[in-house]
Amino acid sequence: MQDLEDALRRELRQVADDVAVPPLPRLPAGRPHWPTWVPTLAAAAVVVIALVALAGLLPDRGGAPEPAPQPTEVAPRPTEAATDDAAERAPRAVPTGPPTVPYVLDRVVHVGGRSFPGYDWVDGTRQGWIAVQPPFTWSWSGGGAPEPLDVALEQPPAVSPGGAYLAYLTSEGELNGFETARGGEGMGLSVPVPVRDEDGVGTRIGAVTDEGWVIASGRGVGVLWRPFDGAAPVDLTRTAPGQLVWQATQAGLVVVDGTGDARDPGGGGRVYLADVTAGGEVVPIADLPHFAIADVTEEWVAWVPAEQVGGEVQVYDEIRVRRLQGAAEDVLTPPPGWRFVNSEFTFEDAQFLLTRVSDGQRQRMVRCSPALLECVLLEAP
């Protein structure tokens, strides 16, 4: 910096030496005018100012630039208050269009615009579904007409929530299944599983997940099989002792704590929603109420307590609902003049529940919204 200052002094001295300064003239009494030497001094001053400004732009001897002037701070603009995600997702009305999942009405399966008579029950999606005819004859579909499931069974088969996978346990104790898509793969060599559990009750297909994982479950029996991963079956009686996997839903697995006397979700043991890891660990997500009929989404739980539909009850008047992570309960009621039929119901998506109703002479389908606490009749097919 000292070298720069010396250079400035030399430049200033040279400019000053070149300027001839005459003696001050006697000013006339008339209108003043600038003497001829003023522009010369002004030019010299401009040179000096320019050199000083240039010096301010040059780095100092350490090479570090002078700090830039700090901008004036501006107060941040206020943001809008966060909205409730659940409120944003809540429907404004209950749609009255046809059901988007397979359903049974008057012993006829309806899927999209197609009908298949002679069935008492159906489960799945348009991508893949299973149905039963009396006395215990099972069929399946990968989106077209149903085909017989040509295996001997003691317990119902199961389909994944999205309909892509089907699994079964044969009466000889062979756990197997396949993809429901046309040309889909089988699950490979069967896995041996006891047909009956330690209480002599038939081992159930507790769940088939949307990843193609299969869980066989019963008291003293628990197998997690991941056939498409090539992994060896996991013994759930060691990794999750006493935990009975009851069903798969859109939101996870419904599990019953069977370490006591409970063996179903009707009462006695803890009932909860869970995930399962590849190693067989059952990870709770949320507690669920005891129930006889239920379905769960990522947002809602809908259920009917066992005491409400036990015995010979054929119709009932209330379906209880609450948010999955909430505690406050509400009830869904059927349209006036109708009652809910004592059969399984299903969520079509995260918001709308599909079930059957009866007026004592005929049956119809209704779509219900837990958010709006409203059920509407759908047009007969």
* Side chain identity at residue 334, one-letter code: P
Q: What is the pLDDT of residue 253?
A: 98
Q: What is the pLDDT of residue 86?
A: 59
370 within domain boundaries:
yes
The span from the CA of 89 to the CA of 212, in Å, is 29
Q: What is the pLDDT of residue 90?
A: 81
Q: What is the pLDDT of residue 58?
A: 36
336 within domain boundaries:
yes
The span from the CA of 127 to the CA of 138, in Å, is 17
Query: How does pLDDT run across 246-301, given as a tens digit for each residue?
Result: 999 999 999 999 999 899 999 889 999 999 999 999 999 999 999 999 999 999 99
34 within domain boundaries:
no
Chunked into runs of 10 residues, the chain (381 residues) has average pLDDT values of: 51 48 40 37 36 37 40 36 55 95 97 96 98 96 96 97 98 98 95 95 97 97 96 97 97 96 92 98 98 97 96 96 96 98 96 97 97 96 87
320 within domain boundaries:
yes
213 within domain boundaries:
no
Q: What is the pLDDT of residue 41?
A: 33
Judged by DSSP in three states, 34 sits in: coil
The span from the CA of 179 to the CA of 140, in Å, is 11
The span from the CA of 158 to the CA of 172, in Å, is 17
End-to-end alpha carbon distance in the chain: 93
164 within domain boundaries:
no
* Side chain identity at residue 207, one-letter code: A
Q: What is the pLDDT of residue 51?
A: 35
Q: What is the pLDDT of residue 49?
A: 36
Q: What is the pLDDT of residue 223?
A: 98
Strands 165-169 and 158-159: antiparallel
353 CB burial (10 A radius; 0-12, 13-18, 19+): buried
99 within domain boundaries:
no
Give, as one character, the DSSP assignment of residue 135.
T
Q: What is the pLDDT of residue 340?
A: 98
The span from the CA of 231 to the CA of 275, in Å, is 18
Number of domains in the chain: 2
Domain that holds residue 315: 297-381
362 within domain boundaries:
yes
Q: What is the pTM for the complete model shown?
A: 0.77
Q: What is the pLDDT of residue 85?
A: 61
